Amino acid sequence: MSFDTWLLYLVAIMLIAISPGTMAVLSMGHGIHYGKSRSLATALGSVTSALLLMMASAAGLGALLSATEYGFTILKWCGGAYLFFIGIKLLLTKATEQELELRTTKGNGKPTQLFKQAFLVGISNPKDLLFFAALFPQFIDISAPQAPQLAILALTWAVVDFSFVMIYACMANVLAPKLKSSHKLHWFDRTSGGVFITLAAILLTR
């Protein structure tokens, strides 16, 4: 994997991590109610679920490569099309469709409980499995050993995911009121959509 390919991957996953989705809401809730130090368990739960989904996606990718010579190319184009679809969907998001509600979290805030909540939120989203399956082929050099490349992709994701979960938790009191403004989320999604479309175009023409 070349350095410029890794940089493209880094840009893509930072865009995903900063997007105010379900995990961001959970992180802010834990940060507000239980503090920064306990939110470390939240970040670990998020990372663990993501790594398991990555392993499942990598296993499926390996099986496809073993089954057909052209499987990787097909998957790469399908994955690029999926990224393009996500970009179009975000680009067309309307302000009225956006709703971010920071609900009071249940429980006593023990680290094991916070870990479990974050893990279940992450692992229960089948879209993430599809997303990893679409994302990985765009950055893997099939002519080089795949295991080290997958390890780099997974480690990079883990670091970025952990960092942004903690950022949301630590800045919850500042971020939560701002992210509740639907028009701000609306424009954020449009910007993200444009970046995704550009990224898909770059990856498919490389």
Per-residue pLDDT at 45:
93
- pLDDT given for residue 159 in this prediction: 93
Domain layout of the chain by residue ranges? 3-11+38-96+107-205
Q: What is the pLDDT of residue 156?
A: 93
The reported pLDDT for the residue numbered 25 is 77
Question: Does the pTM of the predicted model rise above 0.75?
Answer: no
Specify the 3-state DSSP secondary structure of 107: coil
9 contact partners, CB below 8 Å, separation of at least 6: 135, 138, 139, 153, 156
Please give the pLDDT value at position 137. 77
Q: Where do we find the tokens 């840009």? A: 11
Q: Helix or strand or coil: residue 22?
A: helix
* Spans in the chain with pLDDT lower than 70: 20, 61-72, 75, 79, 90, 93-108, 126-127, 176-189, 192, 195-196, 199, 203-204, 206
The CB-based long-range contact list for 162-166 (8 Å cut-off, 24+ gap) reads 162/43, 162/44, 162/46, 162/47, 163/17, 164/14, 164/17, 164/18, 164/24, 165/23, 165/24, 165/27, 165/39, 165/42, 165/43, 165/46, 165/47, 165/118, 166/27, 166/36, 166/39, 166/40, 166/43
What confidence score (pLDDT) does residue 185 get?
Answer: 59
Q: How far apart are CA 13 and CA 134, in angstroms?
A: 13
d(CA 166, CA 30): 10
End-to-end CA distance of the chain: 13
